[in-house]
Amino acid sequence: MKFSYAAPRRPFQWAVGLFALLLALPALAQEPPKPVPGTPPTILVMGDSLAAGYGLAADQGWVALTARRIAERKPGWRIVNASISGETTAGGSARIVAEVLRVRPAVVVIELGANDGLRGLPLRAMRHNLARMIGASQYVGAEVLLVGMQIPPNYGADYANGFERAYRDLAAHFDVTLLPFLLEPVAADRDNFQDDNLHPVAEAQPALRDHVWTALAPLLD
4 is catalytic: no
Cα separation of the two ends of the chain: 19
Residue among 191, 195, 196, 221 flagged as catalytic:
196
- Dihedral of the alpha carbons of 99, 105, 108, 112, in degrees to the nearest 10: -10
List of residues 6+ apart from 1 with CB closer than 8 A? 214
Using alpha carbons, select from 212, 127, 215, 109 the residue that is nearest to residue 163. Answer: 127
| 210 given a catalytic annotation | no
Residue 199 designated active-site: yes
DSSP string of 98-159, one letter each residue: HHHHHH--SEEEEE--HHHHHHT--HHHHHHHHHHHHHHHHHTT-EEEEE-----GGG-HHH
Residue 64's nearest CA partner among 74, 51, 55, 77 is: 51
Q: Which of 48, 49, 93, 128 is catalytic?
A: 49
Q: Which of 48, 93, 116, 199 is catalytic?
A: 199
CA 57/CA 17 separation, integer angstroms: 41
Q: Which residues are catalytic?
A: 49, 196, 199
